[in-house]
Amino acid sequence: MAALQATGQLLWSCDMLCDGVDFRSQEHTWYDIGRKAAGASLSDCAAMASRPTAMLCSVCLQESMSEDDALELLRGVHDMGAQFECLLAGGDTNSWPHPSVIDVAIASSIPEGRQAVLRSGARPGDVIYVSGLLGGSILGRHLRFTPRVRLGLQIAEHLQPHAMIDISDGLALDLWRICEASVCGAVLIAEQIDAVIHPDARRLAKQTGRPPREHALFDGEDFELLVVLGSDAPQGSVAQLDLHRIGDIVAAPETFALRDSAGRIHPLEARGWEHFR
């Protein structure tokens, strides 16, 4: 059990990772797996523009794991947190004969005078941005990303974002979540999406035979921020924070689409990585 000295609003979330689903212990090091487990929870904090404080890590480890493996896993969780002055404060350790499961619960706080950034504040006329290149993270980036904690705080400080989410389940699905929570629609611009396709998406496209743009739209675990700003957001700060414009929020909740370079509108599927689907 961990003790936190808390004042004001404390945010609190958790993220569970499973062997064979979110990582592969046969391929990945336990250190990297620990970093990913902490990173996914830290990324949730980034999306709320909150400052991470402490983590608890619960694990159920496959019995075949050595104590060294378990320590490497915890070292990864610890080190990833330490990058953001977020303490690994406790947890629960279990073992069983099945693949390993890791849950990281994280507490974070909103800097004084500010509020948490939610998914629900997007408004018609707002502009949609993304903090980096997308797609093909499965080729390795999903395990070696830096959660956008500092960027999330900077965006909140300089840009008064209307809504924010981290792209964990894919651009289209996570954007759809913002639209659903905000009761509005969105139109992405094909050329603007093409400008944020990650080289990994192009490499992966050669393996899958699918267009690179599809990987940018529907792959998960980019852990970039999807940011919705008012149309009057200061473009100097937008450029300084290296945000890439990718589309617009529109009034009609039933509009969820991609506009091609000829101005044609194509419906966009709200799909990505989803459990129970």
Assess 44 for contact with its own copies (CB under 8 A).
yes
Counting contacts by CB under 8 A, is residue 12 touching its own copies?
yes
Nearer to its own copies, 117 or 250 (CB): 117
Task: Decide if 243 contacts 151 (C-beta within 8 A).
Answer: no
User: Smallest gap, in angstroms, from Cβ of residue 260 to its own copies?
Assistant: 35
231 binds its own copies (CB under 8 A): no
Q: Does 14 bind its own copies (CB under 8 A)?
A: yes
Distances (CA, A) of 128 to 4, 131, 265: 36, 10, 17
User: What does the CA dihedral 165, 113, 52, 164 come to, rounded to 10 degrees?
Assistant: 0
Q: Is 120 in the site for its own copies (CB under 8 A)?
A: no
Torsion of CA 173, 176, 182, 188, to 10 degrees: 120
What part of residues 49-68 is at the interface with its own copies (CB under 8 A)? Answer: 54, 56, 58-60, 67
Query: Does 48 contact its own copies by CB under 8 A?
Result: yes
Nearest to 268 by CA among 226, 204, 214: 214
**Cβ contacts of residue 114 below 8 Å, gap of 6+?**
49, 156, 157
Q: Which is nearer to its own copies, 57 or 216 (CB)?
A: 57
Q: Which is nearer to its own copies, 67 or 254 (CB)?
A: 67
Among 64, 94, 235, 240, binds its own copies (CB under 8 A): 94
Provide the edge-to-edge strand list for the sheet that holds 256-259: 163-166, 225-229, 127-130, 244-250, 185-189, 256-259, 265-267
CB of 98 to its own copies, least distance (A): 5
Contact 232, 218 (CB under 8 A): no
- Which spans of this chain sit near its own copies (rule: CB under 8 A)? 1-16, 18, 20-22, 44, 48, 54, 56, 58-60, 67, 70, 89-96, 98-99, 101, 103, 105, 107, 116, 275-276
